[in-house]
């Protein structure tokens, strides 16, 4: 019933009010995901679930980079609990894999992915594509409410993921990119250059290292000041990681210092809702 009222009260820019039982759904999801090997911690998992719960209905949830299914459990738990569309997981699950160097050339993370989702009772909620994003994008035609990018972290890779799927974002969709404050060039550049500096996007922030923004092609310009403020700070990281540069020694110290200057606290649901429903200046 709550689900019905939430959908009915979706506002004009398409955000859903956060459900009152969101915390308990996230607690359950985390209890299923916490022992799955992966690259998302408790705080970011919660933040991702909050983003997934707030995006408007009318599209699917696309995850690029699932690995062994840790973040997939979060997105699928929310989509399933609140009837928020199909979850599409995209990952070749193959070596060579930067994030799992122990995987040998014939290895795969797919079996662990399937096991984790099955144990979580979510396997039938996830449409898994065992392929790189560029292959799945061929012939793609479904509208997207949540685009979660956590795949290839090079600039070329992250930019391609963004460019391939952006044309399918529905008004109010949320794009979230992982590891924007880690030492990779792709996530931070795409977040700053393609999202924070674009008037097609409205509210935006960093939730720990998840950079997110809401696709608002009609009124995104109203949020320009807020986005530019964040862009100015976040852009200082780009030269430190440009061209796949190794971040070490003095550069590493400067990187850490710059990160500390960028606001990236995980917002409470109330703060997050206020940001999404604000009309900015």
Write out the residues near ligand SAM by the rule CB under 6 A: 38-40, 64-67, 70-71, 90-93, 97, 99, 109, 132-133, 150-152, 157
Q: How far apart, in Å, are the Cα atoms of 178 and each of 48, 182, 206, 215?
A: 10, 9, 10, 17
Give 92 or 202: the residue with its C-beta nearer to ligand SAM: 92
Q: How far is the CB of 71 from ligand SAM (least distance, A)?
A: 3
Give 66 or 224: the residue with its C-beta nearer to ligand SAM: 66
Tokens 């509208």 correspond to 143
Give 172 or 187: the residue with its C-beta nearer to ligand SAM: 187
Q: How far is the CB of 13 from ligand SAM (least distance, A)?
A: 28
Contacts of 30 (CB under 8 A, 6+ apart): 42, 45, 46, 74
Give 176 or 235: the residue with its C-beta nearer to ligand SAM: 176
- Mapping DSSP to helix (H, G, I), strand (E, B) and coil, where does residue 99 land? coil
- Please give the residue whose beta carbon sits closest to ligand SAM in the complex: 38
Alpha helix ranges (H) inside 11-109: 22-33, 42-54, 70-81
Give 150 or 237: the residue with its C-beta nearer to ligand SAM: 150
Gyration radius (Cα) of the chain, Å: 18
Give 124 or 135: the residue with its C-beta nearer to ligand SAM: 135
Q: How far is the CB of 277 from ligand SAM (least distance, A)?
A: 28
Using the Cα atoms of residue 13, residue 15, residue 16 and residue 20 in order, give the sign of their dihedral. negative
Sort 98 into a burial class: Cβ within 10 Å, 0-12 / 13-18 / 19+.
exposed
Note whether 205 and 180 are within 8 A (CB): no
Q: How far is the CB of 82 from ligand SAM (least distance, A)?
A: 20
Q: How far is the CB of 174 from ligand SAM (least distance, A)?
A: 16
Q: How far is the CB of 150 from ligand SAM (least distance, A)?
A: 4
Q: How far is the CB of 215 from ligand SAM (least distance, A)?
A: 21
Tally of CA atoms within 13 A in the half-sphere of 60 that contains its CB: 19
Alpha helix ranges (H) inside 10-154: 22-33, 42-54, 70-81, 110-119, 133-136
Give 61 or 66: the residue with its C-beta nearer to ligand SAM: 66
């Amino acid at each position: 019933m709550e689900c019905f009222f939430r959908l009915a009260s979706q506002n004009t820019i398409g955000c859903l009010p956060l459900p009152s039982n969101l915390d308990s759904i996230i607690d359950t999801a985390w209890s299923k995901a916490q022992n799955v090997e992966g690259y998302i911690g408790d705080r970011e998992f919660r933040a991702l679930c909050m983003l997934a719960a707030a995006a408007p209905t009318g599209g699917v949830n696309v995850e690029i980079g699932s690995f062994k299914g840790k973040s997939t459990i979060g997105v699928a738990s929310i989509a399933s609990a609140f009837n928020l569309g199909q979850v599409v997981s995209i990952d070749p699950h193959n070596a060579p894999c930067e994030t799992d160097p122990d995987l040998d050339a014939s290895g795969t993370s797919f079996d662990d992915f399937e096991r984790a989702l099955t144990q979580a009772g979510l396997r039938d909620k996830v449409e898994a594509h065992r392929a790189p994003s560029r292959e799945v994008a061929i012939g793609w035609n479904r509208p997207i409410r949540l685009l979660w990018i956590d795949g290839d972290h090079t600039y070329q890779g992250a930019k391609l993921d963004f460019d391939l799927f952006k044309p399918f974002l529905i008004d109010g969709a949320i794009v979230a990119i992982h590891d924007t404050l880690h030492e990779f060039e792709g996530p931070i550049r795409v977040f700053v250059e393609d999202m924070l500096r674009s008037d097609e996007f409205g509210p935006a922030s960093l939730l720990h290292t998840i950079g997110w923004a809401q696709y608002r092609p009609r009124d995104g310009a109203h949020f320009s000041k807020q986005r530019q403020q964040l862009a100015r700070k976040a852009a200082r990281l780009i030269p430190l990681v440009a061209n796949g540069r190794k971040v070490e020694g003095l550069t590493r110290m400067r990187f850490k210092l710059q990160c500390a200057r960028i606001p990236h606290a995980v917002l409470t649901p109330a703060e997050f809702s206020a940001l999404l429903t604000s009309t900015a200046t």
